[in-house]
Amino acid sequence: MFLGALVDAGVDLAMMQAAVDALGTEPIRLRAKKVTRHGLVAVKVDVEAPEVATDRRWRSIRAMLEGADLDAAVRDLALGAFARLAAAEAAAHGIAEEDVHFHEVGALDSIADIVGAAAGLAALGIERLTASTVTVGGGTTRGSHGSIPLPAPAVLRVLADAGAPVVGAVPYEACTPTGAAIVAAAAAGYGSLPELVVDRIGVGAGGRDPQERANLLRLIVGHEVTPARRTGSAHVHRGGHDHGDASGHGPHGHSHGAHGHDHGHGHDHSAHEHVAPASEHAPPAAQAHQGSPAPSAKPVVIETNVDDLDPRVWPAALAALLAAGASDAWLTPIFMKKGRPAHTVHVLCRPEMIAAVRSALVRHTTTIGMRSYEIEKYALERQYKHVNVDGHEIGVKIALEHGEVVNASVEYEDAATAAAALGRPLKVVIAQATALAAEEY
């Protein structure tokens, strides 16, 4: 539904296809067509992907996104969506975020949904997006673990962490984890349609066509009207009697935004949302989003000294920081005043992820404050590939300089899993995977 609304609003489907192709996965095709729902014309985008048995972990998806040739804004939004899903799945199943296996949401079509939506929203040049109350639905559905209640636990956790208002309203699944993650990652706030001058409207359709309401997601792109100036904003609305709005500001003062209005609830990775322009009255999550720097800003290191945390907690805390969007996180042992042993936790992140990383530091450690500073960073070009060691798929991160492969790093957890299954020493499996990766270059 998001992809359809974006295409109907003028985003080139080929551009979204190129972003999906950059992931380097199995072939995925996006196809758009006009449909009607309750007499209203909309665009439906079908994601055609092969059935694969790969059970993708969060770290694998993160490495794939980081290694893909994507614009920074697209990568950051996609990473933000999956980071929220990882945190929600970890909370629902009581496991560490790094150990989360994406089943339905990790399938190729859902990865394409998130990356395609991120590319489409970036193409619109929206600076601010707001959404309506999310209709989540009710009842039960089937998942990889059997029957689960609706709204799905991951949906509720993603939207709760985002501070999004929700309502049941319908006796079926109206919001999937994928749709919730896109809303949570993209929306700066929630509320009614803001005052704006409409530039264009995009209407996306889901596969489901219920009798009681049109299964549509509406994206309204326009210029927001404020007392001091006119700015671009966007409003998204999804679902029946509810209205959704999203406001966005473009990069040059004369900006474009989107307003979405959706009349119905579909099962197709979408959410019922009403997006309103963020303001000083927006919830904390929205205010943090408004204050996010431009993607071109320098990376940042955030640090804090901690002397009262059970050291057994540190592995989980570092994993939580990475799941929140940190590029890296590490510890340095130190001595503080009165000779107390302690640790400095260092977190490297992009400016867009500062708010999420700070929140993770506060939640998962005992810190009550932190410092940060910009740094210069030199990073090699990266690609993420998979090799097969006797039937076991192992991820490999490839580093290139001026087009030449200079390093190949095997994913430790994948290799460890394969070694245990094959009954071989871990070092042997790592060597086999590294050799297979070298053969490709």
Average pLDDT over residues 76-97: 87
Domains parsed from the chain with CATH numbers: 2-284 (no CATH), 300-374 (3.30.70.1380), 381-439 (3.10.20.300)
The more confident residue out of 264 and 377 is: 377
pTM tops 0.75: no
The more confident residue out of 418 and 271 is: 418
Q: Which of 15-19, 95-99, 186-190 has the lowest mean pLDDT?
A: 95-99
Average pLDDT over residues 276-296: 34
What is residue 235's predicted lDDT score, i.e. its pLDDT? 62
| Residues in contact with 262: Cβ distance below 8 Å, sequence separation at least 6, in sequence order | 1, 132, 216, 217, 218, 236, 237, 238, 239, 242, 244, 270, 272, 273
Over the chain, what is the mean pLDDT?
Answer: 80
The more confident residue out of 250 and 3 is: 3
Beta bridge partners of 165: none
| Residues in contact with 106: Cβ distance below 8 Å, sequence separation at least 6, in sequence order | 54, 55, 56, 61
191, pLDDT greater than 60: yes
Average pLDDT over residues 121-145: 82
Task: State how far the Cα of 233 lies from the Cα of 255, in Å rounded to an integer.
Answer: 7
Average pLDDT over residues 246-268: 35
Q: Are 129 and 258 in contact (CB under 8 A)?
A: yes
Q: Quickly state the pLDDT bin for 386 (edges 50, 70, 90).
A: confident
The more confident residue out of 302 and 198 is: 302
Task: State how far the Cα of 120 lies from the Cα of 44, in Å rounded to an integer.
Answer: 15
Q: Which of 2-6, 215-219, 425-429 has the lowest mean pLDDT?
A: 215-219
294, pLDDT greater than 60: no
Q: Quickly state the pLDDT bin for 287 (edges 50, 70, 90).
A: very low
CA 290 vs CA 45, 128, 164, 271, 293: distances in Å: 30, 7, 16, 22, 8
Exposure letters 425-439 (e unless 16+ CB within 10 A, then b): eeeebbebbbebbee
What is residue 215's predicted lDDT score, i.e. its pLDDT? 83
From the list 398, 410, 390, 409, the residue with the least C-alpha distance to 441 is 398
What is residue 233's predicted lDDT score, i.e. its pLDDT? 60
301, pLDDT greater than 80: yes
364, pLDDT greater than 50: yes
Average pLDDT over residues 372-385: 85
Q: Quickly state the pLDDT bin for 250 (edges 50, 70, 90).
A: very low
What is residue 237's predicted lDDT score, i.e. its pLDDT? 65
Task: State how far the Cα of 441 lies from the Cα of 335, in Å rounded to an integer.
Answer: 47
Average pLDDT over residues 76-101: 86
Average pLDDT over residues 359-380: 90
